[in-house]
């Protein structure tokens, strides 16, 4: 009589199969419903010229997008959702308040799946990067009652291995244990967040109602608006300050304002306005970054790339062909510099014309001898390097 042995030289015996079916049945009976968003591999980056970031023609979970940093940033997920059953131990959830908001302190959970059922269904074991939706944790009572669907709970597989408790007396494993972390709204999961509807009856992407991104961006915008209200432009605002008009000898200059009582002025005289005759200061209030290109005391200012032909003494003119723009005053015989318009918006962006901002937010272009248009702003490592003929 052969000796009793549940181990049969590496074969999956009927004993194994019997136990595996019973275990699978346990998952069917007592497991919770899981929807799997299967990771398929990095999305093809067709314009890559970096050898460490290959342009894969075959999509595979075995591909690595960035060979240097060893990471997959732009991930493709199966458009099909797989229904699975998993078992895990519930625990009370507490939040950690971090500088980036509330995080689930006990957010990491460990869940087991039936190994053979899993492989039969998705063609492989669950791996790091797979995204699971735990259906029983769907939140129907968000604070914002206007969200179009219940809030789904997503987890990301970070580690996976055979569960210790999943080995039967045949010594073959029956369970696959995965370590799950709460998903975040990041680049890696945009394929899910942007392309899966938040629920039935709505086309709103699930990311739009789950993510705090737009909320924080709105908060950021409000802060920027207040900051721009406090400091619209760099330097100091002297526009509300009155500048004493003086003559060349330093005495106070007081002009004769034009009024409607002056008979010699008619309505068709285009050169006369309410500011005509008001004293024209020789300079403006001086200070650090006070130049804004406007004439002192709000007097009229012409602007252009060349001086007007028939200026009157005391006229101001802003030359737009100077960088920064330069404000001049006509003395009666020549134009003298008053100030440079150096005040600028200091919010990072295209309105920022500081020296450093001028290198970053440069949208100018030029045309080369071949008639091709190029951007002035070029990355330093690629300046004047050979370009493809086409």
Partner 1 sequence: MSAVLFAYDGQIRRFVTQFIRMFSNFQVEFGQDTNGTRTLQTVPVYYGDASRQASVILRNNSENSLNAVPAMAAYISGLTYARDRVQNPTYEGTLRIRERTYNEGSQTYANTQDGIYTVDRLMPAPYTLGMKLDIWTSNTEQKHQIIEQILPLFNPSLEIQSTVNYVDWSSLSVVQLNDVAYTSRSVPAGGDESIDIATLSFELPIWLSLPAKVKKMGVVARIIASVYDAQGDLNADLLATTQQLAFQQRYTPMNYKVFYSGNSLTLYNGTANESDDNIFGTTADWHGVVNFYGTLVNGISQVRLSFDYPDGPHEIVGTVAYNPTNPSQLIFSPDTATLPANTLSPVTAIIDPFNVEVNSTLLNPTTGTRYLILNPIGDINTPSAVAWAGAPGTNLVANANDIIEWNGTYWTVAFDSTNSSVEYVTNLTTTVQYRWTGESWVKSYEGLYNPGDWSLVL
H or E segment to which residue 114 belongs: strand 109-114
212 touches partner 1 (CB under 8 A): yes
50 touches partner 1 (CB under 8 A): no
Q: Look at the chain and count its residues.
A: 390
User: Which span (69-77, 309-317, 322-330, 365-373) binds partner 1, by CB under 8 A?
Assistant: 69-77
* Strand ranges in 261-348 using DSSP code E only, listed in sequence order: 301-304, 316-319, 326-330, 335-340
Site for partner 1 in 70-99 (CB under 8 A): 71, 73-74, 76, 93, 95, 97, 99
Report the alpha-carbon distance of residue 197 to residue 199 in Å, rounded: 5
Q: How far is the CB of 289 from partner 1 (least distance, A)?
A: 9
184 touches partner 1 (CB under 8 A): yes
Q: How far is the CB of 377 from partner 1 (least distance, A)?
A: 13
Q: Is 275 exposed, middle or buried (0-12, 13-18, 19+ CB in 10 A)?
A: middle
Site for partner 1 in 327-346 (CB under 8 A): 346
156 close to 180: Cβ distance less than 8 angstroms: yes
Is the Cβ of residue 239 or residue 365 nearer to partner 1 in the bound state?
239
Among 82, 228, 272, 358, binds partner 1 (CB under 8 A): 228
Q: How far is the CB of 205 from partner 1 (least distance, A)?
A: 12
Site for partner 1 in 287-316 (CB under 8 A): 287-288, 290, 297-299
Report the alpha-carbon distance of residue 172 to residue 155 in Å, rounded: 28
Q: How far is the CB of 169 from partner 1 (least distance, A)?
A: 31
Report the alpha-carbon distance of residue 314 to residue 323 in Å, rounded: 23
Q: How far is the CB of 127 from partner 1 (least distance, A)?
A: 17
Site for partner 1 in 127-156 (CB under 8 A): 137-139, 141-144, 147, 151-154
Hey, CA dihedral for 182, 184, 189, 193, is it positive or negative?
A: positive
Is the Cβ of residue 145 or residue 368 nearer to partner 1 in the bound state?
145
Nearest to 277 by CA among 241, 307, 306, 313: 313
Q: How far is the CB of 242 from partner 1 (least distance, A)?
A: 4
Phi-psi region of 159 (alpha: psi -120 to 50; beta: other; left: phi over 0): beta
Q: How far is the CB of 227 from partner 1 (least distance, A)?
A: 4
């Amino acid at each position: 009589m052969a000796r009793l042995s549940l181990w049969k030289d590496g074969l999956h015996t009927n004993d194994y199969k019997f136990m595996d079916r019973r275990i699978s049945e346990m998952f069917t009976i007592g497991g919770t419903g899981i929807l799997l968003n299967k990771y398929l591999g990095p999305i093809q980056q067709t314009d890559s010229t970096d050898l460490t970031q290959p342009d894969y023609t075959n999509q595979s979970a075995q591909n690595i997008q960035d060979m240097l940093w060893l990471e997959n940033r732009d991930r493709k997920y199966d458009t099909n959702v797989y229904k699975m059953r998993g078992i895990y131990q519930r625990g009370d959830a507490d939040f950690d308040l971090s500088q980036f908001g509330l995080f689930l302190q006990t957010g990491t959970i460990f869940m087991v799946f039936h190994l053979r059922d899993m492989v039969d269904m998705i063609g492989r074991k669950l791996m790091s990067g797979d995204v699971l939706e735990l259906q029983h944790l769907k939140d129907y009572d968000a604070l914002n009652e206007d969200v179009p669907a219940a809030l789904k709970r997503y987890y990301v597989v970070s580690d996976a291995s055979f569960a210790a408790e999943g080995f039967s007396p045949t010594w073959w494993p029956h369970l696959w244990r995965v370590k799950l972390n709460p998903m975040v709204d990041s680049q890696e999961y945009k394929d899910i967040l942007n392309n899966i509807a938040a629920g039935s009856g709505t086309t709103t992407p699930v990311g739009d109602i789950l993510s705090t991104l737009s909320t924080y961006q709105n908060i950021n915008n409000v802060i920027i608006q207040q900051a721009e209200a406090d400091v619209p432009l760099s330097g100091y605002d002297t526009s509300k300050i009155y500048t004493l008009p003086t003559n060349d000898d330093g005495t106070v200059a007081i002009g004769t304002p034009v009024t409607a009582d002056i008979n010699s002025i008619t309505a068709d005289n285009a050169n006369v306005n309410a500011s005509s005759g008001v004293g024209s200061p020789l300079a403006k209030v001086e200070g650090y970054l006070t130049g804004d290109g406007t004439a002192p005391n709000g007097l009229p200012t012409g602007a252009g790339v060349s001086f007007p032909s028939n200026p009157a003494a005391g006229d101001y003119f802003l030359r737009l062909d100077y960088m920064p723009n330069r404000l001049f005053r006509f003395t009666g015989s020549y134009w003298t510099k008053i100030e440079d318009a150096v005040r600028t918006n200091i919010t990072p962006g295209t309105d920022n014309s500081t020296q450093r901002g001028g290198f970053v937010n440069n949208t100018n272009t030029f045309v080369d001898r071949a008639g091709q248009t190029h951007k002035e702003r070029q990355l330093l490592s690629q300046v004047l390097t050979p370009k493809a003929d086409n």
